[in-house]
Structure 1
Amino acid sequence: MTASKHSTMKRWTVTRPGAQHLTLETVPVPTPGEHEVLVRIGAVSLNYRDLGVIEGDDGAAMPFPCTPGSDFSGSVVAIGGRVTRFRDGDDVLGTFWAGWLDGDWPSTARVLGGSLPGVLAQYVVLHEDWLVHAPRTLDAARASTLPCAGLTAWFALVEMGHVHAGQTVLMQGTGGVALFGVQIARAHGAQVIVTTGSEEKRRAVLDLGASYVIDRNAHPQWELLAREYSNGRGVDHIFELAGGENLAASLRALRQGGRISLIGVLGEQTMTFPSVPSFLTRPVIQGIGVGHRRALEDLVRAVDATGLTPVIDARYAFEQLPQALAHLKRGAFGKLVIEVR
């Protein structure tokens, strides 16, 4: 085992529910156990669920005080005596689900920055099974966006959806998952439709590779245009990110036997749709809860092979976490990243 050059580190802690209770504290650098790795954090990518953890309404039963954050990239600076998967100096990513290595989701899997302590710190100690090698082609900030947003899109489209050339995929909105979905679908030769209410975002998502963009405000019945853009056939795969009655519109846009991935609930917490059209459409409706370690390793290889570049809206210094969270509340085009120095 090698040791960190520092004996203390900075770590963000929320002492009780509410962003106003975030404090930047100085604590000892942790020491890895036999199967553990000490990682110097390079960057942390924020997710909307981090706001729920901080506000105490995420449903994760987080004990306070706690450290939020789940997605990071960093470098190995010390390893336990029985670690076999990594060496000092390796660049790594954390897995969103600690303990979900492959196959079906195990009930014992836990979430960093959820039921496990988070990663908004200069150093973290993690079990070696909870890490993967980082892509060679991305800097730390862009790499940190892969474990949740990137893997969610990959798991829906590739691992479960088997996306391929000739298909039409529709993304709702322009958040991190949707923008990863645009790039992954295009890399596999699929046509992509995006719905948004912003003219500025419309231009940006076209530059990213989308074939069509539907203005939700000008076309509240967006599903009609979606069918038109798919030559009347219907969309093969839809990322359902709105919730509520929007699921009914997704169903109407879908081709027979098409797939809807339930990924988020930006609106209502429940989703409803008419039963008879669903019988006739014969949809595959799948819930997506990020993905397992093996799929993240597949995504990393794909990133290096294709040159996929994650979209970052803004980068913040480690001390600027409160400002980054305020930006997250307002909404972003792509991801917000905390760079840890």
Structure 2
Amino acid sequence: MKQIELSKWGIENLKLADVERPEPGPGQVLVRMEAVTLNFRDLLVVQGLYNPKMPLPLIPVSDGAGTIVATGPETMKFDEGTRVMPIHVSGWTAGRGEPNGAPRGGPNPGVLAEYAVFDERDLVVAPEHLSAVEAAALPCAGVTAWNGIFGGRGVTPGARVLILGTGGVGLFALQFAKLAGAEVAITSKDDEKLIKAKEMGADHLVNYLDNPDWGVTARDIFGGDGADLVIELGGGRTMSQSLRAVRRGGEVAMIGSVTGAEVERLNLPPIFMRNVTMRGVAVGSRELFEEMIKAIAHHRIAPVMNKTYRGLASFSDSLEALSKGEHFGKIGLLFD
């Protein structure tokens, strides 16, 4: 079988390798992978910026979907022919996280292989109405957004939600927040992306490039009180504005760091004096994943796909497209 391997940091060091097909052991299943989707984390891993101490060689990418083609001894959960998705962190079935769990695509092997073996406890059945590449968008971006919207205090009808950006997590968060009946504001530097977000149901649009003090603008949008919940996907350069946008007693779900990991000019007193809750969100458990799947299946929600590449050999091209940041929604790769 073929798989993508990274032996040295850098997109230029990705190679398509021929390896022996694995066999499932006790409690494991063999999955013929059909599609993957990319997250910003995947780009950072390949570039050596996520954790340069991770062991190499590495099979990249955490999110995929495929069909079970063989089962090992003592498997009880799935039948052959079932389309499944692996959870992001191995062994994280419920709760706040398993102590020995690690993400796929670094340091655990990723899903950029024609066949992969998984512990059956690490798999979730894909919604029937989704294609393979659409299902592949759910394990990281979908679960992260679901956790951000519902994993804290939980969004209820009439809640005011501010979402930073129109990437995969941001658009999932928009879909889930509107599903809950929230009033949603969303930011972008691209007016065309904002128009698309409005077509998806966003109530308020904020171009942060045209409006550097967008945190105050967002607070004013919500009647001067601010947002009940901020889905903070920016990181270092956006956190101070997010804290301006959140209401007294509100919540900031800290998810991403696409603008950097170090926060600029963070003023601590407004956080504790205004009783702001800051909650870290790092994907979620299988239990949370399955909860999200029920809602997606019931309401027939589909992820927003930007572009789908074909064939393992085009992975470098898809990663380059991700690095440009011009996409609206998910970038996928469909296997041959």
Return closer, same or farther for 1:253/1:136 CA change in 2, 3 Å cut-off.
same
Aligned-residue offset at 1:49? 1.3
The aligned counterpart of 1:6 is: none
Instruction: Indicate whether 1:127 and 2:128 are aligned.
Output: no
Distance (whole Å) between structure 2 residues aligned to residue 130 and residue 326 of structure 1:
29
Instruction: Indicate whether 1:334 and 2:329 are aligned.
Output: yes
Aligned 8 A contact 1:176 1:334 in 2: yes
The aligned counterpart of 1:77 is: 69
Give the % identical residues: 36
Residue 279 of structure 1, aligned match among 272, 288, 296:
272
The aligned counterpart of 2:181 is: 189
Q: Which moved more, 1:131-140 or 1:243-252?
A: 243-252
The aligned counterpart of 2:291 is: 298
Aligned 8 A contact 1:61 1:115 in 2: no
Query: What SS does structure 1 have at the residue aligned with 2:32?
Result: strand
Distance (whole Å) between structure 1 residues aligned to residue 21 and residue 125 of structure 2:
22
Return closer, same or farther for 1:19/1:36 CA change in 2, 3 Å cut-off.
same
Q: Which moved more, 1:58-67 or 1:160-169?
A: 58-67
Aligned 8 A contact 1:137 1:303 in 2: no
Alignment of 1:138-287 (within 5 A): 138-271=130-263, 272-287=265-280
Distance (whole Å) between structure 2 residues aligned to residue 248 and residue 55 of structure 1:
28
Return closer, same or farther for 1:256/1:297 CA change in 2, 3 Å cut-off.
same
Query: What SS does structure 1 have at the residue aligned with 2:151?
Result: helix
Distance (whole Å) between structure 2 residues aligned to residue 161 and residue 337 of structure 1:
32
Distance (whole Å) between structure 2 residues aligned to residue 61 and residue 100 of structure 1:
23
Distance (whole Å) between structure 2 residues aligned to residue 115 and residue 36 of structure 1:
20
The aligned counterpart of 2:309 is: 316
Structure 2 residue ranges without an equivalent (≥5): none
Aligned-residue offset at 1:60? 6.6
Aligned-residue offset at 1:88? 0.4
Q: Deviations over 1:306-329 (max 9, x none)?
A: 121101111001221111011010
Alignment of 1:94-113 (within 5 A): 94-113=86-105
Q: Which moved more, 1:264-273 or 1:102-111?
A: 264-273
The aligned counterpart of 2:4 is: 12
Aligned 8 A contact 1:254 1:281 in 2: no
Query: What SS does structure 2 have at the residue aligned with 1:226?
Result: helix
Instruction: Indicate whether 1:289 and 2:286 are aligned.
Output: no
Structure 1 residue ranges without an equivalent (≥5): 1-8
CA RMSD of aligned residues (A): 1.3
Q: Deviations over 1:173-217 (max 9, x none)?
A: 111110000000000000110011101101111111100110112
Query: What SS does structure 2 have at the residue aligned with 1:160?
Result: coil
Distance (whole Å) between structure 1 residues aligned to residue 50 and residue 252 of structure 2:
24
Task: Using structure 1 for the length normalisation, give the TM-score.
Answer: 0.95
Task: Using structure 2 for the length normalisation, give the TM-score.
Answer: 0.96
